[in-house]
Amino acid sequence: LRMAGMVIALACLALNPAVASVAAGKDYDGITLLALPPKPGVEYDVYLVDPIYALERLARALDVIYRESPFSAGKIEALKRSGRVEIIYDPNHPDPNTSMASVQVAKFLPQYRGIGGYGNKSFLAVVGRHGIKWSVRELAAVLVHELAGHGTQHLNDRFKSLRNVDLECEAWLYEEKAYQDFRFDKSSREMIKFRQELEGFGFTDGYCSDFKRHMQKNTPERMRFWNSLNPDVPKLLEAFEDYLRDQRGKGVR
């Protein structure tokens, strides 16, 4: 593991005095890993993992990214050159007092509970009590989605300006590349469902359906990049830039 400098802080963390408390923190080659404590007196829907164990899982997931996906690791390195990269394990995410009909595994935010929001760019991914229990390789793909995907959008000053469907289309493309690099079984039920949600199926749109329709209409020769068990994600991301320029030209945000 590329870890160094364990810090345990049961009161205020010196990294940011705005944080009321953290359970533990690590540095992973310039990426700050933090574990927040559970709320006292709250009943959770699942058992909570130990904060140190949570940090170890985050570090192992980063190991997978840096070892097996140079493409994704390069995007995260670009974030590090431009600002502060942090990953937080928060057992309180999603809010235990809200409906659990939809379980949010992780999310990207420039600032979270007093952490982040620094003068330069801040790239922060939050992993919740459910996501931390996913397999390390699945967790690695989630971190690619949040950091390489949404983090790059924030780096390029469009995280807050794009439509949600376009934000997610681009981030899901990064996640697709991670699954390829991690050699996930593309014939598995989970990967088939992922591909369906990415592109759409039948009369149901996926996150990238608008993007695909734009390609089909304007650059049909590029549709071949989709027509594979492993779509050519770098080429699709290039085409996505053209799609966004065209969308902006039409006043679509």
Q: What was the pLDDT predicted at 226?
A: 96
Across 246-251, average pLDDT: 77
For the entire predicted model, the pTM comes to: 0.89
Residue 21 CA to its chain's centroid (Å): 24
Rounded CA-CA distance 228/148 in Å is: 23
DSSP, collapsed to helix, strand or coil, labels residue 53 as helix
Q: What does the alpha-carbon distance between residue 205 and residue 110 come to, in Å, rounded to a whole number?
A: 29
DSSP 8-class letter at 22: -
For the stretch 103-152, pLDDT in tens is: 678 999 888 877 877 666 899 999 999 999 999 999 999 999 999 999 99
Asked if the model's pLDDT at residue 212 lies above 70, the reply is: yes
Residue 14 scores a pLDDT above 60: no
Cβ-Cβ contacts under 8 Å for 140 (sequence gap 6 or more): 61, 62, 64, 65, 69, 178, 182
Average pLDDT over residues 160-186: 96
